[in-house]
């Protein structure tokens, strides 16, 4: 049984300057290279906060679907997902935000196509990351 609350910890270390990369990591995993993306006049060449935001959403949805499919006894050959993330200005403010995530999933080799669609809908509803963000989300689910 899963016990709540759960706690996760990550860390990052960076030097001065907007054109330098830095490392971020979690316990027991290798660090990843991070950088300000060229769209924000950075050097690129590392994961940006926007990349990690979209990856976090995508991976939570995939992980939740995989658990639901296993518990629901729906086998599938593979799941491929992608997120198109829009960053835009906040009307009437000086800041900006991640305003829209266009999420597409292709689930192949499903043993029960309709049940797989329902399980993906449940994963979308229950995904902890998706439930924690105010970014608009649009989902496209293809199951075969």
Give the pLDDT confidence of 46-87 residue by residue, as tens digits.
Answer: 999 999 999 999 999 999 999 999 999 999 999 999 999 999
Q: How many helices (H) and strands (E) does the chain have?
A: 3, 6
Are 85 and 71 in the same domain?
Answer: yes
Edge-to-edge strands of the sheet including 22-26?
10-13, 22-26, 32-34
Tokens of 22: 């830095």
Are 12 and 70 in the same domain?
Answer: no
Q: Can you tell me the distance from the alpha carbon of 9 to that of 14, in angstroms, rounded to the nearest whole number?
A: 17
From 12, 29, 47, give the residue that closes a domain: 47
Are 62 and 76 in the same domain?
Answer: yes
Tokens of 60: 């939570």
Q: Can you tell me the distance from the alpha carbon of 77 to that of 108, in angstroms, rounded to the nearest whole number?
A: 5
Tokens of 134: 């105010």
CATH of the domain at 87: 3.30.300.20
pLDDT at 1: 84
Q: Give me the number of domains the chain comprises.
A: 2
Mean pLDDT of 6-27: 96
What is the pTM assigned to this prediction? 0.94
Domain containing residue 23: 1-47
Give the closest residue to 46 by CA, choosing from 24, 16, 13.
24
Are 43 and 89 in the same domain?
Answer: no
From 10, 31, 47, give the residue that closes a domain: 47
Are 5 and 60 in the same domain?
Answer: no
Give the number of other Cβ atoms within 10 Å of residue 28's Cβ: 5
pLDDT in tens, 77-122: 999 999 999 999 998 999 999 999 999 999 999 999 999 999 999 9
Cα–Cα distances (Å) from 66 to 18, 61, 89, in that order, read: 38, 9, 35
Unique residue bearing structure tokens 């518990």: 71
Are 40 and 59 in the same domain?
Answer: no
User: Are 39 and 102 spatial neighbours (Cβ–Cβ below 8 Å)?
Assistant: no
Are 59 and 83 in the same domain?
Answer: yes
Are 116 and 96 in the same domain?
Answer: yes
Are 40 and 55 in the same domain?
Answer: no
Are 96 and 53 in the same domain?
Answer: yes
């Amino acid at each position: 049984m899963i016990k709540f609350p759960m706690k996760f910890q990550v860390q990052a270390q960076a030097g001065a300057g907007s054109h330098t990369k830095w490392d971020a990591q979690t316990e027991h995993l290798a660090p990843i290279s991070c950088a300000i993306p060229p769209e924000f006049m950075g050097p690129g060449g590392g994961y940006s906060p926007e990349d990690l935001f979209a990856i976090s959403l995508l991976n939570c949805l995939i992980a939740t679907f995989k658990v639901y499919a296993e518990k629901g006894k729906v086998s599938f050959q593979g799941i491929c997902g992608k997120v198109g993330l829009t960053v835009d200005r906040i009307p009437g403010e000086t800041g900006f935000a991640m305003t829209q995530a266009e999420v597409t999933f292709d689930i192949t080799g499903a043993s029960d196509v309709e049940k797989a669609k329902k399980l993906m809908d449940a994963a979308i509803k229950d995904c902890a990351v998706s439930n924690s963000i105010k970014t608009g989300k649009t989902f496209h689910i293809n199951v075969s």
